[in-house]
């Protein structure tokens, strides 16, 4: 049985029909067409699917789409400016914090939530803020450097 | 299949009365269903918007923590951090920021995993669960609530609305320590919580110890209070370590053998007693203890 609901994503309302068991990630990608959010482990472990729900990071692979009704969803597409790069994206590029890039949208969403709540985090606070995001390429040191750089540029 | 978002507690209780299951953050329910542990219930009622259950309030006798309070709230709340520190230690260890933001205390308690992190702290702090249904309310001791892995004595139409904690005695402290192989996104290999009250001469006046991930439910070390009373913290910790290993009935699995769990739960119990006693003596040890003094995984 599908249910018609309206999801608010990046400030826009999208009417969608969803099954009860459908996760938010698949609705974002296949119904709404926002494919920046990635599916990694599909088990809330890796953080590739991270989106913000009312400004807080949430693993969209393991969140029911129906439960997001009435909340504000922000995806990587909602963080990027119309042209150019967001400060977090620029720092990741400049520090070499991006290799294959698959984890990058999730890393950016967690960083965004971290810096919104705490504009000058300590290194330990950054490690904790990104502890739900796995990266298999960079070894994390460059990602950490990029977040430190974003915070100090602010 | 049906899904409703409850706008009020009465609406939620009415839905439960006709067979719906509650979903709070969904971090156990949805993840478990997707892993194939248990199918998603056919009828769900979302309780995450019940703001009346999302507060921590001071009461005449102790505090009340609403079932929808998240781990993120618990780990920084001043009343919890200063008075009920073991619970803050546990909340700060749960998953990652995203798990802590939507994962609730009510969900952790009612999911009844033997490895749940808030369970042992709640037990040593003397918590009771408040259950409510359309037909009435009742108060349940945690030792009566958890009946087995993933099982509680709550009726299907009962919602956990709050956890109540009694006031803390003077010169008391508490701590929760967990053995972990990595510093985030971990499930306790074993864990131990201790609550300790000190006499003026620095000996222990009383206390309690409870263990996670070494039995089908969270268990209390029944004689811990008697073993500690009258002793200095070092001697008390050593006695508790032996008693904890003795009462543990752990399983062997991919993550650890029963022998290893039995040994390490004693080590964790001793460290929890030590940290609780130091806090009781007024020492500031940050939350979580695991990070502050490196008793879990180190960098
Ligand atoms: C990646 C990841 C890491 C995790 N790490 C940890 C960890 O380190 N430590 C730990 O202890 N847990 C951990 N968990 C488990 C989980 O996040 C917690 O148990 C959390 O507190 C569950 O809360 P919830 O609101 O998401 O529960 P839900 O999934 O919504 O509910 C869990 C169960 O309880 C029932 N329920 C929920 N609320 C109530 C209520 N008020 N009354 C009656 N029944 C209710 C539901 O019907 C369901 O059966 C982790 C989970 C994930 C996905």
pLDDT digits (tens, 9 = 90+) for A106-154: 999 999 999 999 999 999 999 999 999 999 999 899 999 999 999 998 7
Mean pLDDT taken over chain A: 96
**Is residue B295's pLDDT more than 90?**
no
Q: Which residue has the tokens 């810096």?
A: A115
Q: pLDDT tens, B167-188?
A: 999 999 999 999 998 888 889 9
Query: With a 6 A CB cut-off, is B116 part of the ligand 1 pocket?
Result: yes
Return phi, psi of residue B215, to 5°: -165, 170
**Domain locations along chain B:** 172-293
DSSP B284: -
Residues of chain B found within 8 Å of residue A43, distances taken between Cβ atoms: 31, 34-35
Average pLDDT over residues B235-255: 97
> What domains does chain A contain, in order, with CATH numbers?
2-79 (3.10.20.30), 87-153 (1.10.150.120)
Q: End-to-end CA distance of chain A: give it in Å, rounded.
A: 48
Cα B254 to Cα A122: distance, rounded to the nearest angstrom: 35
**Is residue B269's pLDDT more than 90?**
yes
pLDDT of residue B182: 86
**Is residue B296's pLDDT more than 60?**
no
Cα B207 to Cα B171: distance, rounded to the nearest angstrom: 11
pLDDT of residue B299: 43
Average pLDDT over residues A5-18: 97
Could you tell me the two tokens for A66?
A: 């129906």
pLDDT of residue B196: 98
Query: With a 6 A CB cut-off, is B122 part of the ligand 1 pocket?
Result: no
Contacts of B284 (CB under 8 A, 6+ apart): none
Mean pLDDT taken over chain B: 96
Q: What is the ipTM of this complex?
A: 0.96
Residue B123 CB neighbour total at 10 angstroms: 26
**Is residue B155's pLDDT more than 90?**
yes
State the pLDDT confidence band at B216, using cuts at 50, 70 and 90: very high
Indicate the CATH number for domain B172-293.
Answer: 3.30.390.50
pLDDT > 70: percent of chain B: 98
**pTM for this prediction:** 0.97
Cα B46 to Cα B49: distance, rounded to the nearest angstrom: 7
pLDDT > 90: percent of chain A: 93
The residue ranking higher by pLDDT, B79 or B38, is B79
State the pLDDT confidence band at B293, using cuts at 50, 70 and 90: confident
Distance from CA of B126 to the nearest CA of A (A): 30
Residues of chain B found within 8 Å of residue A47, distances taken between Cβ atoms: 96, 98
**Is residue B297's pLDDT more than 70?**
no
pLDDT > 70: percent of chain A: 100
- The residue whose C-alpha atom lies closest to atom 44 belonging to ligand 1 is B110
Query: By the CB < 8 Å criterion, does A17 face chain B?
Result: no
Query: By the CB < 8 Å criterion, does A57 face chain B?
Result: yes
Distance from CA of A94 to the nearest CA of B (A): 26
Of A1, A20, A57, the CB nearest to B98: A57
Cα B192 to Cα B219: distance, rounded to the nearest angstrom: 10
Question: Is residue B293 within a helix (H) or strand (E), and if so which, with residue range?
Answer: none
Query: With a 6 A CB cut-off, is B21 part of the ligand 1 pocket?
Result: yes
Cα B244 to Cα B214: distance, rounded to the nearest angstrom: 10
Average pLDDT over residues B24-36: 94
């Amino acid at each position: 049985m599908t249910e018609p609901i309206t999801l608010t994503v990046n400030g826009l309302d999208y009417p969608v029909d969803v099954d009860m068991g459908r996760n938010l990630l698949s609705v974002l990608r296949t119904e709404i067409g926002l494919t920046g959010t990635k599916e990694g482990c599909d088990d809330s472990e890796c953080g590739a699917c991270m989106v913000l729900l009312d400004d807080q990071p949430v693993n969209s692979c393991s969140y029911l789409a129906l439960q997001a009704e009435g909340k504000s969803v922000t995806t990587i597409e909602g963080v990027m400016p119309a042209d150019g790069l967001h400060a977090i994206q620029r720092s990741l590029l400049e520090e070499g914090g991006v290799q294959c890039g698959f984890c990058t949208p999730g890393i950016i969403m967690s960083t965004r939530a971290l810096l919104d709540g705490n504009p000058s985090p300590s290194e330990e606070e950054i490690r904790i803020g990104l502890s739900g995001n796995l990266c298999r390429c960079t070894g994390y040191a460059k990602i950490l450097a990029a977040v430190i750089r974003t915070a100090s540029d602010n | 299949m049906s899904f409703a978002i409850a706008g009020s507690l009465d609406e939620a209780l009415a839905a439960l009365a006709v067979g719906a299951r509650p979903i709070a953050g969904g971090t156990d329910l949805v993840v478990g269903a997707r892993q194939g542990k248990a199918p998603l219930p056919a009828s769900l009622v979302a309780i995450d918007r019940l703001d009346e259950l999302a507060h921590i309030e001071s009461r005449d006798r102790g505090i009340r923590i609403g079932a929808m309070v998240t781990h993120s709230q618990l780990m920084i709340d001043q009343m919890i951090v200063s008075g009920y520190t073991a619970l803050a230690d546990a909340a700060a260890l749960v998953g990652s920021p995203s798990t802590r933001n939507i994962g609730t205390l009510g969900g952790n308690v009612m999911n009844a995993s033997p490895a749940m992190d808030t369970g042992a702290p709640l037990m040593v702090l003397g918590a009771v669960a408040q259950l409510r249904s359309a037909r009435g309310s009742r108060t349940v001791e945690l030792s009566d609530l958890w009946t087995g892995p993933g099982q509680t004595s709550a009726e299907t139409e009962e919602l956990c609305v709050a956890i109540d904690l009694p006031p803390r005695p003077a010169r008391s402290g508490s701590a929760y320590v967990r053995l972990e192989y990595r510093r985030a996104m971990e499930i306790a290999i074993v864990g131990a919580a201790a609550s300790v009250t000190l006499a003026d001469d620095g000996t222990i006046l009383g206390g309690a110890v409870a263990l996670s991930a070494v039995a089908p439910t969270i268990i209390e070390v029944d004689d811990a209070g008697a073993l500690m009373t009258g002793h200095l913290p070092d001697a008390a910790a050593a006695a508790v370590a032996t008693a904890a290993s003795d009462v543990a009935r752990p399983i062997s699995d991919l993550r650890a053998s029963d022998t290893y769990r039995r040994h390490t739960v004693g080590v964790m119990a001793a460290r929890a007693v030590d940290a609780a006693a130091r806090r009781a003596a007024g020492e500031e040890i940050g939350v979580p203890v695991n990070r502050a003094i490196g008793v879990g995984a180190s960098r």
